[in-house]
Structure 1
């Protein structure tokens, strides 16, 4: 059994770019379905379809025996973090512009940089910590603390949902790096899909009749808690696409973070930010406002600085090691 981390940065970057393209498509399909279906119904159908593709990939990579694990609690924790991250993100996506939600979510690479210190033992110096603080300042600008909820059009807690989603996502990817040492990406994908199915069925048992959505004016809670309905014919294609797409996302992200360090992979996730702006304009005729553009630029600049600083430090360590060997 493999016990050392994989180090294939080129492959990791390719996987994460494919994942970002798939994620942007996923967001467009979820937003398109958010007006008529409950979030937990969409998640259930997506994952029920996706787990079939995931099991096929497990079989291809070595057989269903790969699903056996010695760390079930860590896998369960990772799955729950993915569920919370997705649920909070999509609740925000139902009422906020696509680009705004994505931009706020992209504080995740900064969270990953911070969390890699205690969880992975990575060294982060004062310059990178300063860049992280600069990025978080961009989040504050996007949150527009000077504006009232009436001006924003949504409550403050809805504005905070993408940031909570980013935090859960960052912890999950740190766990992926640790679990990926001995677990195939296809297996990680199946575990996540199974967790989604269990949680969405629990939602259905408690709130599947829509009784909790009847008396709330909040669009995010309505999306989360409305009653299940039979999908229409054309929507089935969207749901099948979501299922296949979720397998691609889960596999490629798991493969990316198990193939290289978090600091190497995370900056390339910014490709999804550009795609979100583009798809938001094409499908929903929305573009970010000035505060979002400013905050977005600050987050991207800080994330790229952290990435390039990581590369500089890595080269310096490699040169020092070469000198010592001589």
Structure 2
């Protein structure tokens, strides 16, 4: 069996605290991602899922630290690499997109310039003509119509969905092996959200790119993931294939998350409120919850199309 593309082993992340030396926010987390696989990490705000992804990318804030554990990417322990070696990997072999593209895009630069910067960092000798051609091709890959015109616009001239597509274009500019997507659809309406999910899944299949998809929304998980990790209070409490998770969840917390999924009678604002307040999840009464067979969010099993 081939080695995983990404392997996280016994990861512990700590931050300084006023009343004690350190506070642990991620506890002994282990998981792997194979080439071409989409692994979703799901949990409410503060569960440690985003902190885990930032540690993988080496983007923890200066006061945060990986106290112990190992992160192997393509067989190399990222935590043992010098900074100059990490910079060669980030943005080329592994890359990340965030929830709000306006916080990542430079409002003062045209879209084509920002794509060009992503290419030049790892290909300093690339010609101006090659950059122009590659930039337009990337915008077309992320299904942007009239790519030539969009390339000349500034971020504020684009819709939220278009800006997220541009961020994905920049992320895949150097044909990475691993994409980490941290809540990339949360700020989008349902229609655009589904388009972005479909785009990421198509790129995953076309390029055999591994994906770590961070979200609090189990309906999103159902649409995109192959395997799911459920995080709570900095720990992984359950791991399963997407179909196993919805058909037969094992952990009480996973069951509560499934019960919090919206139905025709439950609006998404209510769900967001539940996810932001873990105490409300704790108070959900025991009882039936939706399974994979009776929720309208879940894609069909292997071999069926993804619009289910």
TM-score normalised to structure 1 length: 0.28
| Structure with the bigger percentage of strand | 2
TM-score normalised to structure 2 length: 0.29
| Structure with the bigger percentage of helix | 1
